[in-house]
Amino acid sequence: MKTREQLYGKEAAGLLRDISSYHCIRREQVYRLYPDKDKSVMDNLLFYLTKQGRIFYDQPADIFCDSSDL
């Protein structure tokens, strides 16, 4: 059985790179950057990275940032 890292490692690394490049990105922009990926997969990756503390989420604005200084 494959681990989450094996399944989504490239997508997670790409997503972190994009968020680091732009510093803040809206959820809809993430969907547009990865049109071939299902929205639920991208939502799971965003949640996973937020839970790990690698990115930060501003719920009222629906924005993901690379630092907690929202």
In a domain, 17, yes or no: yes
Give me the amino acid identity at 65: C
Residue 70 lies in a domain: no
Which CATH number covers residue 25?
A: 1.10.10
- Please count the other Cβ atoms lying within 10 Å of the Cβ belonging to residue 19: 22
The answer to whether residue 20 sits within a structural domain is yes
Tens digit of each residue's pLDDT (9 = 90 or more) over 13-67: 889 999 999 999 999 999 999 999 899 989 999 999 999 999 999 999 999 999 8
Domain span at residue 24 reads 4-65
Domain count, the chain: 1
In terms of Cβ atoms closer than 10 Å to its own Cβ (0-12, 13-18, 19+), residue 20 is middle
- Whether 53 is covered by a domain: the verdict is yes
Q: Is 55 helix (H, G, I), strand (E, B) or coil?
A: coil
Residue 60 lies in a domain: yes
